[in-house]
Amino acid sequence: MSKILIIEDEVAIAELQRDYLEMNGFEVEVCGDGEVGAKEALEHEYDLIILDLMLPGMEGYEVCRTIREQKNIPIIMVSAKKEDLDKVYGLGMGADDYMTKPFSPSELVARVKAHLSRYERLVGQVKNKNEVIEIRGLRIDKTARRVFVEGEEKIFTTKEFDLLTFLAGHPNHVFSKADLFREIWDMESVGDIATVTVHIKKIREKIEKSSDKPEYIETIWGVGYRFKV
Ligand code: CA
């Protein structure tokens, strides 16, 4: 269920909006103060904000800017004065829509639904796009932190995964063991560069057909390792 925050100081208007939205299956919270509303929007998860322009505490355009700095959710700004909305629009505060009061509640509901579905499509596209490195039969899903060799999943520890991802993310670049240790292990870690050798060996056991003739992680004698593409 989508959650909507109404920031509006006129109680009658706020209640009318809330009733209509609730009748249409939305969960609704109301704030009558700009500053409190901005705080509420930032500290809790909302899917959409309906924001009045003239508010006590903090003016609507300021509330809009504050929310926009941290969140991408749709914001519909409302005001009784069309000129004021035009001004706010001109300032580019990042609201997604502007409505002049009075408007019919069904018009509001229609716009809310349109913005929510547009936003869900956008967010859905981003969410569905995992970052993947694919080289020959090796597939590293960086988002899901999973590794597949010829379609078969291999289980990696956190450090093995980080090391493999780092090397694969910098193909044909030679890194010394000291470089890799600094990159993957933080300063507090116990261990030394020999840890790198151990991890490389384990990674090879999982991704290479033959550890003697590695296809992916090459040893550059006297220097370090290189991920071949
Ligand atoms: Ca007001």
CB 31 within 8 A of CB 56: no
Give the per-residue pLDDT at 187: 67
Which DSSP letter does residue 189 get? -
Express each pLDDT in 87-106 by its tens digit. 877 677 788 999 998 889 99
Q: 134: closest CA among 165, 162, 157?
A: 165
Q: First CA to last CA across the chain, in angstroms?
A: 46
Residue 75 CA to ligand 1 centre (angstroms)? 16
Residue with tokens 């502007």: 98
How many other C-beta atoms lie within 10 A of the C-beta of residue 229?
10
How many whole angstroms separate alpha carbon 1 and alpha carbon 29?
13
What share of the chain in percent tops pLDDT 90?
66
Express each pLDDT in 65-85 by its tens digit. 999 888 889 999 999 888 888
**Two tokens, residue 75:** 């914001």
Beta-bridge mates of residue 176: 224
Ion ligand 1 residues within 5 Å by Cβ: 9, 52, 54
For the chain, list the domains and their CATH numbers: 3-129 (3.40.50.2300), 132-227 (1.10.10.10)
Over residues 147-176, the mean pLDDT reads: 93
Residue 131 CA to ligand 1 centre (angstroms)? 45
Residue 108 CA to ligand 1 centre (angstroms)? 17
Q: What are the backbone dihedrals phi and psi of residue 15, each rounded to the nearest 5 degrees, phi first? A: -70, -35
Q: pTM of the entire structure?
A: 0.57
Beta-strand pair 3-7/27-31: parallel
Residue 80 CA to ligand 1 centre (angstroms)? 8
Residue 48 CA to ligand 1 centre (angstroms)? 19
Which DSSP letter does residue 226 get? E
Residue 24 CA to ligand 1 centre (angstroms)? 24
How many whole angstroms separate alpha carbon 151 and alpha carbon 122?
30
Residue 46 CA to ligand 1 centre (angstroms)? 21
Express each pLDDT in 214-225 by its tens digit. 999 999 998 999
Mean pLDDT of the chain: 90
